């Protein structure tokens, strides 16, 4: 039997300052602790610094480091998809960030969990690094996601983890454009295991995830895993229609009984008008979120375009 081959998939966007340490620590972990055949696929997601050059140079020195160079910045999810597609023949794929917040030294533990029978291994942080408003927003999102969908995700896990060959194949068959990795990882099923770790600070450089991107990512998560927002609108509509009927009936009966109606009620009218207008606009917005995503899917544009590959 030939020994299993492990591929590490790493999306890279402007990570020039951390790459040398990443190369060195990855090689050290595999060579020192694991006897497996391995390689690392670094997906350059349109970096504007010298990341691609550094990876190509590393490939020339040590061909186990491979470069998949995308034609522009497609975003983290697409870069990850490109890496998983390139790693299709691996026995197991480790997914991790380039910034060393996910310590390569944890990989042996992920591999042990996989050898123990788990096909999907998640690295779960003991502590979260976010504080303040971001922290509140993250917590809120995970609560909401748990309520809205049938696929609860572990609040303290990100991309870091390991996938066996079958889940990788399942991922590669998903053609959807708006990808939410933690949700999809829950969705594909398979026996799973969690490994605890302490999340590190970024080794260098700064986070590429702007708040806008994170909000978009959260929306992708909710809208691609739940119809509940649409259903809530239906319920709200039913409730308001029922209320309108009851109030209308009340006033008609009063009128028939001959009760005089005073010519006031301007405030009531304005409030009702604005409230209903707001509810309708929210409804259109929610519809639009789904419709826009449907449009994305229908166009069937590829998730990413590969410019070149430095691979054996
Ligand atoms: N990344 C990417 N494309 C992007 C943004 C980020 O491939 O458009 C990569 C980045 O190089 C890193 C990983 O995704 O390896 C996580 O990004 P970051 O550290 O900025 O996110 P955070 O850890 O703050 O969530
Ligand atoms: Mg990071």
Pocket-testing residue among 69, 74, 81, 208, ligand 1, by greatest number of atoms within 8 A of Cβ: 208
Distance in angstroms (rounded) separating the CA atoms of residues 234 and 149 = 18
Q: How confident is the model at residue 221 (pLDDT cuts 50, 70, 90)?
A: confident
Is 11 near ligand 1, meaning CB less than 6 Å away?
yes
Phi, psi of 10 (to 5 degrees): -135, 110
pLDDT at 207 over 60: yes
How many other C-beta atoms can be found within 10 angstroms of the C-beta atom of residue 46?
A: 19
Residue 1 has pLDDT above 60, yes or no: no
Give the distance (Å) from ligand 1 centre to CA of residue 182: 15
User: Using an 8 Å Cβ cutoff, are 26 and 40 in contact?
Assistant: yes
Q: Is the CB of 104 under 6 A from ligand 1?
A: no
Average pLDDT of span 79-108: 90
Angstrom distance (rounded) from CA 151 to CA 290: 19
More confident residue, 66 or 4: 66
Read off the pTM. Answer: 0.78
The domain segmentation of the chain, as residue ranges, is 5-226+302-310, 228-299
Contact 171, 188 (CB under 8 A): yes
Q: Which atom of ligand 1 is nearest to the CA of 12?
A: 11
pLDDT in tens, 13-36: 998 889 999 999 998 888 887 778
Lowest mean pLDDT among 92-96, 199-203, 212-216, 295-299: 199-203
**Could you tell me how far CA 198 lies from the centroid of its own chain?**
20
CB distance 213 to ligand 1 below 6 Å = no
Task: Tell me if 24 CB under 6 Å of ligand 1.
Answer: no
Q: Which atom of ligand 1 is nearest to the CA of 158?
A: 25
Burial track 163-190 (b if 16+ CB lie within 10 A, e otherwise):
bbbebbebbeeeeebbbbbbbbbbbbee
CA 200, 206, 211, 213 dihedral sign is negative
Exposed, middle or buried: residue 191 (CB in 10 Å: 0-12, 13-18, 19+)? exposed
CATH fold of the domain at 5-226+302-310: Spore Coat Polysaccharide Biosynthesis Protein SpsA; Chain A (3.90.550)
- Cα–Cα distance for residue pair 215/141, rounded to 1 Å: 10
pLDDT (0 to 100) of residue 55: 93
Instruction: Write out the two tokens for 282.
Output: 């929210």
Rounded CA gap, 18 and 299, in Å?
37
Give the least confident one: 99-103, 120-124, 174-178, 258-262: 258-262
Of residues 232, 226, 235, 230, the one with CA closest to residue 146: 226
**What pLDDT score does 70 carry?**
94
* Calpha distance 187→163 (Å, rounded): 13
User: Which pLDDT score, from 0 to 100, does residue 81 have?
Assistant: 92
Predicted confidence at residue 129, as pLDDT, reads 63
Tokens of 9: 């998939």
How far is residue 1's CA from residue 37's CA, in Å, rounded to a whole number?
Answer: 13
Reported as a single tens digit per residue, the pLDDT across 260-279 is 766 777 788 888 888 888 88
CA distance between the termini of the chain: 23
Q: Name the range with the highest mean pLDDT among 20-24, 127-131, 257-261.
A: 20-24
208 lines ligand 1 (CB under 6 A): yes
Q: ∠ at Cα 219 (42, 133), nearest 5°?
A: 90
Q: What is the mean pLDDT of the chain?
A: 85
């Amino acid at each position: 039997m030939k020994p299993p081959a492990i591929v590490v998939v790493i999306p890279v966007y402007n990570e020039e300052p951390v790459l040398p340490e990443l190369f060195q620590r990855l090689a050290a972990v595999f060579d020192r602790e694991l006897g497996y055949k391995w390689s690392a696929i670094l997906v350059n997601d349109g970096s504007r610094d010298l990341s691609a050059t550094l990876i190509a140079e590393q490939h020339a020195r040590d061909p186990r480091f491979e470069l998949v160079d995308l034609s522009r910045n497609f975003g983290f999810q697409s870069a990850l998809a490109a890496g998983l597609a390139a790693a299709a023949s691996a026995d197991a794929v480790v997914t991790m960030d380039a910034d060393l917040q996910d310590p390569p030294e944890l990989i042996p533990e992920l591999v042990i969990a996989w050898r123990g029978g788990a096909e999907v291994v998640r690295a779960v942080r003991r502590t979260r690094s976010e504080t303040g408003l971001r922290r509140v927003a993250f917590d809120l999102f995970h609560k909401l996601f748990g309520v809205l969908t049938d696929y609860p995700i572990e609040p303290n896990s990100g991309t870091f983890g390991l996938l066996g060959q079958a889940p990788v194949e399942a991922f590669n068959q998903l053609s959807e454009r708006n990808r939410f990795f933690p949700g999809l990882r829950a969705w594909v099923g398979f026996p799973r295991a969690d490994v605890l770790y302490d999340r590190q600070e970024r080794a260098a450089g700064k986070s590429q995830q702007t708040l806008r991107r994170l909000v978009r990512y959260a929306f992708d998560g909710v809208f691609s895993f739940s119809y509940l927002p649409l259903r809530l609108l239906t319920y709200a509509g039913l409730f308001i229609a029922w209320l309108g009927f009851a109030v209308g009936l009340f006033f008609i009966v009063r009128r028939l009984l001959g009760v005089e109606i005073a010519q006031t009620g301007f405030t009531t009218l304005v409030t009702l008008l604005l409230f209903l207008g707001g509810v309708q606009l929210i409804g259109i917005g929610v519809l639009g979120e789904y419709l826009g995503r449907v449009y994305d899917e229908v166009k069937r544009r590829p998730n990413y375009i590969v410019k070149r590959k430095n691979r054996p």
